[in-house]
């Protein structure tokens, strides 16, 4: 069966390029190109369009082999496509699962896509409707970009909203017990109310589970990044307060209890704090102008 690595090697050879020439064009090492073609690693998401353009093929063919081999050469890549479209992320995650033998994540990918079918993210100001699967896919790609490759963690990223939003019980998830427990902790119970008691119990439960903790932090990082286009000022202020009260302590506890994630936690914290600071300045400026 043709794999991503096979197609990368075939397309490169059809262009008459050496691995060293590809590495120089993409500003990477020759070892990286070799690893892609051997199937021991896959290119980062942002590299896929660059590789497609260099080889004169489409990103769809690279990721899925959707074109017959006779049509490989001189097919122009459509770079106007949204880099992080749900279709591209779906094929990227699927290819990564195949390369790394992440069988549980592969099953979770299909399950999440099926259960979230027909659901859409709440659009921001002037935004198009975005399929809901975009959100768990983005979390999963974010995790991969940070070097988080655990099958259980990636599966939980894909499934973290399935129980709460799709009426699925944790026991129905196509994953092991550890991942089911993480998703259960991430799912707010039916009788959950935004009281201090319920919020504290929810976050305390997450804090005791390393997978649930990392997924929650990635989830909050993603939601904070979209605040500017989808949140009202009132909602933004409430979200900032909630983040300071519950997410920051969760991150501090994770730094102490899960040192294996120290690099990833540093980057997540840096990103969240930068966006929150920008949002605070935005809200203060808006308030000043209205006043």
Domain contains 79: no
Domain contains 77: no
- Distance, CA of 48 to CA of 60 (rounded, Å): 10
- Distance, CA of 192 to CA of 279 (rounded, Å): 28
Is residue 147 classed as helix, strand or coil in its secondary structure?
Answer: coil
278 and 155: one domain? yes
Mean pLDDT in consecutive groups of 10 residues from the start of the chain, 291 residues: 84 87 90 92 84 82 61 36 66 82 93 93 64 93 92 98 95 97 96 93 97 97 80 81 94 96 95 85 62 54
pLDDT at 125: 47
The CATH number of residue 276's host domain is 1.10.3210.10
52 and 174: one domain? no
Q: Say if CB 231 and CB 122 are below 8 A apart.
A: no
pLDDT at 17: 86
The CATH number of residue 8's host domain is 1.10.260.40
Q: Say if CB 218 and CB 245 are below 8 A apart.
A: no
pLDDT at 82: 44
Question: Over the range 245-278, which residues count as b (16 or more CB within 10 Å of their CB) and which as e?
Answer: ebbeebbebbeeeeeebeebbeebbeebeebbee
Closest to 228 in 3D by CA, of 270, 268, 279: 279
pLDDT at 77: 37
150 and 127: one domain? yes
Closest to 141 in 3D by CA, of 41, 44, 258, 12: 44
Q: Which of 71, 101, 119 is the last residue of a domain?
A: 71
Domain encompassing residue 134: 86-290
Domain contains 21: yes
Q: Say if CB 79 and CB 49 are below 8 A apart.
A: yes
Task: Tell me the pTM.
Answer: 0.75
Tokens of 246: 């519950």
153 and 280: one domain? yes
pLDDT at 192: 93
């Amino acid at each position: 069966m043709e794999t991503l690595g096979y197609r990368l090697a075939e397309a490169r050879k059809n262009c008459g390029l050496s691995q060293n020439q590809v590495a120089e064009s993409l500003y990477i090492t020759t070892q990286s190109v070799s690893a892609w073609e051997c199937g021991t690693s896959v290119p980062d998401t942002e590299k896929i369009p660059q590789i497609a353009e260099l080889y004169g093929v489409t990103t769809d063919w690279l990721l899925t082999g959707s074109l017959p081999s006779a049509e490989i050469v001189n097919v122009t890549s459509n770079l106007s496509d949204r880099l992080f479209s749900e279709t591209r992320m779906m094929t990227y995650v699927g290819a990564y699962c195949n390369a790394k033998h992440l069988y549980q994540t592969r099953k979770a990918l299909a399950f999440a896509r099926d259960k979230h079918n027909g659901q859409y993210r709440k659009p921001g100001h002037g935004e198009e409707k975005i399929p809901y699967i975009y959100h768990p896919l983005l979390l999963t790609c974010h995790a991969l970009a940070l070097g988080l490759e655990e099958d259980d963690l990636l599966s939980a990223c894909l499934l973290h909203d399935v129980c709460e939003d799709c009426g699925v019980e944790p026991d129905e998830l196509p994953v092991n017990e550890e991942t089911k427990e993480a998703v259960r902790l991430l799912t707010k119970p039916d009788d959950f109310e935004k009281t201090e008691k319920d919020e504290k119990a929810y976050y305390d439960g997450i804090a005791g589970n390393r997978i649930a903790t990392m997924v929650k932090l990635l989830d909050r990082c993603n939601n904070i990044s979209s605040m500017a286009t989808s949140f009202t000022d009132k909602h933004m202020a409430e979200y900032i307060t909630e983040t300071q009260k519950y997410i920051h302590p969760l991150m501090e506890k994770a730094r102490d209890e899960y040192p294996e994630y120290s690099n990833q936690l540093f980057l997540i914290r840096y990103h969240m704090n930068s966006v929150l600071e920008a949002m605070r300045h935005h809200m203060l400026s808006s308030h000043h102008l209205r006043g």
